[in-house]
Amino acid sequence: MKCTGEEAIAVAQGMILSREDMGFPTYRQQGLLIARGYPLATMMNQIYSNAEDPIKGRQLPIMYSAKDYGFFTISGNLGTQVPQAVGWAMASAYKGDDKIAISWIGDGATAEGDFHNALTFASVYRAPVILNVVNNQWAISSFMGIAGGLDTTFAAKAIGYGLPALRVDGNDFLAVWAATQWAEERARTNQGATVIELFTYRGAPHSTSDDPSRYRPGDEAEKWPLGDPIERLKQHLIVLGEWSDDQQVEAEKDAVEQVRAAGKESEAIGTLGQSRPSVKTMFEEVYATEDWRLIEQRREVGV
């Protein structure tokens, strides 16, 4: 799963919130981990399900989980992260903590009941949470209109629940930053939840097993008028005199080298099937007290 075209969202928002806050992401907010310095090789180890997979083969490859990085385990069941984020935020408020939660959901998944239940609870309990809708206009091959994004905006849906909402150009790093800062202050000072619709475009296929040329024009991404968020931030910084084309070339080269080095480190541990988490780990860390059936099964396997 790539986040091409949506990079500004997770990166800007991850920089505003702290690691003590909790993020409830989808598979398109890997930028949150990368911007916070989570090791690229560890992400790759999970993708390869090798012996160093931090999830020990228990999750789909890109469904990361990193508590220390404020990154809640991604769920394969779309939408569940939104009520979880609201519940986490309510718990934080009950404890008198000043930690806040932030969640992301795709345009398509807002059609799930979970999203609407979460908005009710966020509003009624004034939960300290930021609820993002990442409208990248596609849900695999379904255009966002199928999820109700043409008759109204995703931001406007918040109004019916009594929640304030902002609709932001999600490809404008600084706009994402400013909107999130406003929502963060509201949550932090117990003024309640904010819904942010981030209007963007899914630049890449849904996943590596998807072929978007079957359902949308091949050049749609290039024609997207709001443009590539990285290119836009680069241009802005160059105009301000804070950055140059040469620095950009260097930064990109450095990024590619970092990815290559991490790839080598991870491949040395093993690609898919070459090395794997020990079978023993299958029986661990699920129950506080091991169930008798598990003990029996573990004996049968002989680990």
Contact positions toward Mg ion, by CB under 5 A?
Answer: 106-108, 136, 139
Q: Nearest approach, Cβ of 148 to Mg ion (angstroms)?
A: 13
**Per-residue tokens: 229:** 């968020």
**Per-residue tokens: 259:** 């990815």
C-alpha span between 197 and 92 (Å, rounded): 24
Within 147-186, the residues that bind ligand TPP by CB under 6 A are none
Closest listed residue to residue 109, CA positions, set 88, 136, 90, 86 = 136
Q: Nearest approach, Cβ of 80 to ligand TPP (angstroms)?
A: 8
Pick between residue 150 and residue 279 the one whose CB is nearest to ligand TPP.
150
Q: Nearest approach, Cβ of 119 to ligand TPP (angstroms)?
A: 16
The SS3 call for residue 141 is: coil
Within 67-96, the residues that bind ligand TPP by CB under 6 A are 76-78
Q: Nearest approach, Cβ of 24 to Mg ion (angstroms)?
A: 17
Paired with 131 in beta bridges are: 103, 195
Among residues 29, 50, 136, 171, the one that binds ligand TPP under rule CB under 6 A? 136
The SS3 call for residue 173 is: helix
Phi-psi region of 57 (alpha: psi -120 to 50; beta: other; left: phi over 0): left
**Hey, which bits of the chain come out as E strands?**
22-24, 101-106, 129-135, 138-139, 142-143, 165-169, 194-199
Amino acid at 255: A
Give the x-and-dash track for 26-65 against ligand TPP (CB under 6 A): x-x-------------------------------------
Give the x-and-dash track for 201-220 against ligand TPP (CB under 6 A): -x---x--------------
Could you list the residues that contact ligand TPP (CB under 6 A)? 26, 28, 76-78, 106-109, 136, 138-140, 202, 206
